Each structure stands twice: as C-alpha cells, then as structure tokens.
Amino acid sequence: MKSMLELVDVHRTYLIGESTVHALRGVSLTIEQGEFVAIMGASGSGKSSLLQILGLLDNPDKGEYRIFGNNVNTMSEDEQAGVRNNVAGFVFQQFHLLKRMDIVDNVRLPYIYSGLKGNFRKEAIERLKMVGLEQRIDHTPNQLSGGEQQRVAIARALVRDPLIIFADEPTGNLDTKNSGEIMKILQGLHAEGKTIIMVTHETDIAAYARRVITMRDGVILTDERKPGIQHAVRVSGQSGFDIHGSTKGSLWQDGRFIGFIAQAFQAILANKMRSFLSVLGILVGVASVIAMMALGEGAKASMQEQLKSMGSNMLSIRAGSAKIRGASQGAGAVARFTFADVEEIASLHTLVKNASGVVNGAGRIVFGNKNWSTNLTGVGYDYGTMRAALPTVGRWFTREEIQTREKVAIIGVTVVKELFGTTNPLGKTVKINRINFTVIGIAPAKGFSGPQDEDDVVIIPVNTAMYRVLGKTYLSGIFVEVASPSLIEKTKSDISALIRKRHRLKEDDDSFNIRDMTEIQQMLSSTTQTMSLLLGSIAAISLVVGGIGIMNIMLVSVTERTREIGLRKAIGARKNDIMLQFLVESVGMTVSGGFIGIVLGIGISLILSFFAGWTVITSPISVVLATAFSALTGIFFGLWPARKAAELKPVEALRYE
Ligand code: ADP
Ligand code: MG
C-alpha cells in the first residue's frame, strides 16, 4: 500500500540576496494515515520549511514528495491549492484570523474555495462547538483571547473534514493553560482518526504526539515512535482524497462569486473613510459629467424647441436658380408657381403638414408725414403658425380677409419704430404703395438673420398683395412644413419631382430651388458635438485620475493584506480566486463611487433647474455610461494590484510582517 505522505531526499534552499540558506538538506520521511507526529528542533533547524513542504504551501527544490502516491512536483499551483482545500487543515502560531469578519465567517472561509454550494454556517457553528466556542459565535477575533483565537483557527482547519492537520507551533503564542487546552483538542482529533503533523520546540508539547522527529541543520536527527499503539486509528484506503478538488465547478455555478462580492463589500466597509476618499475622484468626475450632460441635453432641447418655433421643418421653394442669385438663365428659366401648385404640394399628406404660398415685393409705407421702404410679403392663412408670425399685439388675418383681398396689414417692429415711434399703431390707417391699409397687428420680433432685418416687414393677405398692390399673377415662393424632421429629404425630392412634372421641367433644369433649415441644424449639432467632446474629455480625465487613486489604494490594500492573501492561499484559494477577490473589490469601489456620483449629479442638475431655471434633462444613457465606465475603471486599474496579489507565494505571504 502507498504511504500517505512520502518525502525522498528533499532539499530546500532559500536565496537571500547573494547568500543561500540550506533550510532542508536531504530529508526522507514517510508518514502514515492516523499518525500524530511532532517535529522538534532548535530554531532555524528547518522545521517550518519541512512542514510547509508537507502541507503543499511550498515545493522542494530537489527530491520527491508524494501524497497518496501522487507526485507533488507534477501538480500545478491550482491543483495543489485544491489538495490543500480538500485534504489539509492548517493551524499557525499567529492564528491568521481575518479581523473584520466574525468567527463563523472565519471558520467557513475554506468553503468559499471548495466549489461546493451553500453557506455552511451550520458546519462552522458545529466546529466552533467542538472547540468549545459556541457561546461566542457572533464575536470577532479581536474580542477573543489568544487561546480562543487559536481554537477558532482549529475550527477553521476542521471545517472541511481534512485528513491531515498541519500545525506550526500552535501553542507558540499561548500561555501554559491555553496550550494545554489546545493540545487536548488536537489529541482528541487524533483519537478520532485525524493525521496530525505538528511543529514545536517544546518537549512537553511534543509529548502529546505518538511520534517525535528531531531536526538539526536541515536534516532529520532522530525519528522515534512511542511504545504502545502506533496508529490510534487505522484508516484504510484514500478516503476523500481528490487531487482536483476545488478546480471543479465554475465560478458562477457554485456561488463563489456572490461570496466574493459580500467579502469585497466587507473589506470596503472595513475602511469606510479610506474607501470613500479613494473613490472621491471618480465620484466628482461622474457627478460633474452627469450634471453637465443634463445641462447640455437641456440646452439642446430648448434650442430645438426654439428652432421648431422658427420652423425647423420648413422648406422654402423659390423660383430661380439657387446658384446664380437673381440672374435667370435664359428665357423660361424661372418657374411660375400658382395656388394650384400649393394645393398639389399640400395634398402630399404623409409628408407635408402645411403649405402656403407667398408673394414678395417692395413696399413703400406712409403714415402721416413719415414714409419707409420695406419688404412687402403677401401671405396665406397658415403662414402665421408655420412661420411663427402670429402677432403678439393685435391679431392675425381671418380666412375671409385673405379671400376677399382686404386691405389689412401686420407690421414688423422696425417699421413700427420708424413710422410710429412710441404711439400705438393698432387701428391706424397707413398707405402702402398709395393704397390705404388698416394696421391690425405687430409681428413678433425676430431680430437679424445675417444682415437681413427680419423685423423690417409688412405682411398683408396674399390675394391683396398679388392683385391690388404688386400686380403679380404668380407666387414668389411656397413655404412647406414637413410632417417630421426625418422626412425632410424625402419631401424635398418628392416636391421637386412634382414641380418638374407639373411645369414640364427637365431633370437638370434648375429654374426653382428648395431649401431647408439643415444649415441651422448642422450648426446646432456641431455645437452639441463640441460639447460632447468636451464632456467626454472631462469624464476621461476624471476617470483616469480617479482610477489612479483606486490603483494606489488597492496596492496599499494588497500590501496590507499580504498575510490574509497567504492564509487564503493556504486554505485553498487559487490564483484566480485571489485575483477576482481584489478585482471585485476595486470594481465595487469604483461602481459605488460612480453611483454616489450619479445621485449627486442628478441632485446638482435638479438644483440648477430649480434655482437657476435652466432646462436640464438627465438621459438614462448618461447614467448607464457612467456606471459602465466606473466599472471599467475599476477593472482596468484594479488589474495590476489584483495580479500582484494573485502571484504571491503562500509561504512568503504568510511570513510577511
Ligand atoms: P524553524 O522553523 O525550524 O525555526 P525554518 O524552517 O523556518 O526553521 O527556517 C530554516 C532556515 O531557513 C532558517 O535559517 C531561516 O532563516 C531560513 N528561511 C526560512 N524561510 C526563509 C525564507 N522565506 N527566505 C529566506 N530564508 C528562509
Ligand atoms: Mg518555524
């Protein structure tokens, strides 16, 4: 039958700078199941080095180590972690309990890395009962005495029912009374059939064992079995040994991930102030981006609203070429629009909401002894709403007035200023091109559009303008309101085709042109783009700065918790487990920071809209993006510290002071 543990000529050498320390120089040893072995010797004789190799916390430089006949040298790091988790339980001189968890969580910690489902509180409490701590289950390690802490560590070592318990100076930090209690527990475990391998330099502690190995300078000096029963319990076979152990079961299936998240938040909350300060960069960045995006969106929306009132869906169809202003290209090059054209265009129902013909001309307007040359526009009924020309003072034309060629006029504010000064023009009679008109309204002020004064206008009914004032039989142009902005291009081409058909114009004949407001819209979208770019770079900078803060704190955290990492590896954590633990922690921090930032940003934008009266719109996309980017920052900047943690060797991490 294969021995349980078998060492053949094992060497272990440490390099300290230039010098080498030969901790083990050829150790050969077999240990059978059910033995209680004490390894004795002076300090520095290699006891711990031997135990670490036996416990798979370290590997030999030379020589062979077989566990149930499996050569350890051929096992991967993760497989060894699996064996540690399934087969071994560790008890250290320094207890190595995690201070921020209560003792139940400490005891069940090995289960996290076992690949088994469940919360295992029951098992943990049961083991705590075995070591006599059932009264203290909601205590944290700091609230316990040294002896009690070591009993918690033993409960943790037992929680997965290991075959072997490795104990390195388990009573080294305890007084005689507590030492005795701990040794009684170990003795009891041996009586139940556990294999116990214990390092000690005290003879009275070693006296509990059935076999005592003495070491000096890295070799075994003596190996003595006590008379009487050698193996307290003879256990046959390889009960429970599974080399692959925790490498089975995916991360998501076995609930390990949830455990990691819970632990990450425990760790973050253990250092509340520090965690908060380190996410401050991300918090402020996200908050300002959310608030500014909300402002930007609000500004965009109100600009669009304004644009809409100006008629952003408006098409202007004019006779004559767009390219050569005014100058027509030979005879018949100017299309002559009639009301029939307007009706045809208006009947393109799905595309066109409204169509209105206009006629333009020069007007000379006289009031009293003042006169003024201005632009005369003859309009239809719908022009008022389409072009946002409905008077704020006075009224718009009625349909009858337009039909019956009434002599009523609406004048722009420039005209009001020139002719009336401060007196009220409503109801006054003016002469337009020597015909008497009654002023019924003042057109809303529009300001300048380029060099053009949009308020220097006189608006009269289109029929009055054509037949009474200007003597024109054709319209100068047609305004079309498109049903929605997305239909503008289609409407343009459809109207263009319609006009070409009606007026029998060839494809390349440009005796008319259709313009839309895309120029203004383009300007608007380029402003928005500049703004987004600016916001984007602020976000990027703040996330990078915040991310560096996170990386810094994670590096500190990894260093601070080196021994914790060592312990976790000892009880079976694999590289990826450690890596994930720290990644989850950094992502947890950045996402929480991002979340607070989002709330703060929304708060700021609400305050702005409330007190400053600005339009703000918080788009869900900005919230989703902020969350995603904070998470990415956590992953990106957490990766290096997490890798650093994962690469640590269990022994070195455990030794770290
Ligand atoms: P013991 O447990 O018997 O006191 P150790 O096995 O811990 O002895 O150490 C044996 C020798 O190896 C000592 O000289 C010690 O200084 C050295 N040693 C142990 N671990 C390391 C290490 N990680 N790096 C360098 N030297 C070490
Ligand atoms: Mg030692």
| 79, pLDDT greater than 60 | yes
Atom of ligand 1 nearest to the CA of 47: 3
> Position 539: which residue type?
A
Tell how far the Cα of 233 is from the centroid of ligand 1, in angstroms: 33
Counting ligands in written order, which one lies closest to the CA of residue 49? Answer: 1
Query: What is the tens place of the pLDDT at every residue in 119-158?
Result: 899 999 999 999 999 899 899 999 999 999 999 999 999 9
Q: Which of 24-28, 173-177, 351-355 has the lowest mean pLDDT?
A: 351-355
45 CB within 6 A, ligand 1: yes
Which atom number of ligand 1 is nearest to the Cα of residue 15?
Answer: 25
- Ligand 1 centroid to Cα of residue 46, in Å, is 6
Of all protein residues, whose CA lies closest to atom 13 belonging to ligand 1?
A: 44
Ligand 1 atom closest to Cα of residue 24 = 10
Closest approach atom of ligand 1 to CA 51: 6
pLDDT in tens, 184-241: 999 999 999 999 999 999 999 999 999 999 999 999 999 999 876 555 444 444 445 5
Distance (Å, whole) CA 175 – CA 41: 20
Task: Identify whether the C-beta of residue 183 lies closer than 8 Å to the C-beta of residue 174.
Answer: no
pLDDT of residue 328: 44
Give residue 541's pLDDT: 86
43 CB near ligand 1 (under 6 Å): yes
* Nearest protein Cα to ligand 1, atom 21: 14
Q: Is any ligand 1 atom within 6 A of the Cβ of residue 200?
A: no
Of the candidates 514, 481, 480, 483, the residue with the CA atom closest to the CA atom of residue 497: 514
Q: Whose CA is nearest to atom 1 of ligand 1?
A: 44
How much is the mean pLDDT over the chain? 86
Distance 128 CA to ligand 2 centre (A): 27
Looking at residue 392, its pLDDT comes to 84
For ligand 1, whether the C-beta of 89 sits within 6 Å is: no
In ligand 1, the atom with minimum distance to the C-alpha of 12 is 12
Ligand 1 midpoint to CA 80 (Å): 22
Q: Does the Cβ of 384 fall within 6 Å of ligand 1?
A: no
d(CA 273, CA 280): 11
| Integer Cα distance of 255 and 117 in angstroms | 6
Q: CB count, 10 Å around CB of 34?
A: 21
Task: Write the residue with the smallest CA distance to atom 26 of ligand 1.
Answer: 14
Amino acid at position 257, single letter:
F
Is any atom of ligand 1 closer than 6 Å to the C-beta of 327?
no
Q: What is the pLDDT of residue 509?
A: 72
CA 361 to chain CA mean position, Å: 61
Nearest in space to 377 (alpha carbons), one of 409, 342, 417, 424: 409
Q: Which ligand places an atom closest to the C-alpha of 215?
A: 1
What is the CA(218)–ligand 2 centre distance, in A?
12
Supply the residue whose CA is at minimum distance from atom 25 of ligand 1.
14
- Return d(Cα 143, Cα 138) in angstroms, integer: 10
- Out of 49, 92, 221, mutate this one to test ligand 1's pocket (max ligand atoms within 8 Å of CB): namely 49
Residue 246's pLDDT is what?
Answer: 43
Atom of ligand 1 nearest to the CA of 52: 6
Cα 564 to ligand 2 centroid, rounded to whole Å: 19
Place of tokens 């003795």: 187
Q: Say what the pLDDT of residue 310 is.
A: 59
Dihedral over Cα of 643, 649, 654, 657: its sign: negative
pLDDT at residue 181, as a whole number: 93
For 11-33, the pLDDT digits (tens) are: 999 988 889 999 999 999 999 99
Q: Is the pLDDT of residue 168 over 80?
A: yes
Q: Which of 301, 309, 304, 306 is nearest to 619 (CA)?
A: 301
Span from the CA of 349 to the centroid of ligand 2 (angstroms): 92
Ligand 2 centroid – CA 90 distance (Å): 14
> By the 8 A CB rule, do 562 and 621 touch?
no
* Closest ligand 1 atom to Cα of 49: 6
Q: Tell me if 167 CB under 6 Å of ligand 1.
A: no
Is 23 near ligand 1, meaning CB less than 6 Å away? yes
The mean per-residue pLDDT over the stretch 245-249 comes to 47
How far apart, in whole angstroms, are the C-alpha atoms of residue 213 and residue 220?
7
Q: Check pocket membership of 46 for ligand 1, CB cut-off 6 A.
A: yes
Which residues, 6+ apart, have CB-to-CB distance to 109 below 8 Å? 98, 101, 156, 568, 571
**648 CA to centre of ligand 2 in angstroms:** 20
| Cα distance between residue 453 and residue 466, in whole Å | 23
Ligand 1 atom 15: residue of nearest CA: 44
Q: Is 48 in the pocket of ligand 1 (CB under 6 A)?
A: yes
Cα(293)–Cα(270) distance, integer angstroms: 34
Q: Closest residue (by CA) to atom 6 of ligand 1?
A: 46
What pLDDT digit, counting tens, does each position of 285-333 carry?
889 888 888 888 887 777 777 666 556 678 888 887 544 444 444 444 5
Positive or negative, the CA dihedral 285, 288, 289, 291 is: positive
Side by side, the strands of the sheet bearing 36-41 are: 88-92, 164-168, 195-199, 36-41, 211-216, 219-225
What does the radius of gyration of the chain's CA atoms come to, in whole angstroms? 44
Spatial CA neighbour of 594 closest among 628, 562, 617, 545: 628
Choice among 34-43, 446-455, 476-485, 616-625 with the minimum mean pLDDT: 446-455
* Mutational pocket test of ligand 1: of 48, 59, 221, the residue with most ligand atoms within 8 Å of the beta carbon: 48
Identify which of 4, 56, 1, 52 has the alpha carbon closest to the alpha carbon of residue 29: 4
- Rounded to the nearest angstrom, the distance between the alpha carbon of 388 and the centre of ligand 2 is 90
110 C-beta closer than 6 A to ligand 1? no
Q: Say if ligand 1 is within 6 A of residue 16 CB.
A: yes
41 lines ligand 1 (CB under 6 A): yes
Is the entire prediction scored with pTM above 0.85? Answer: no
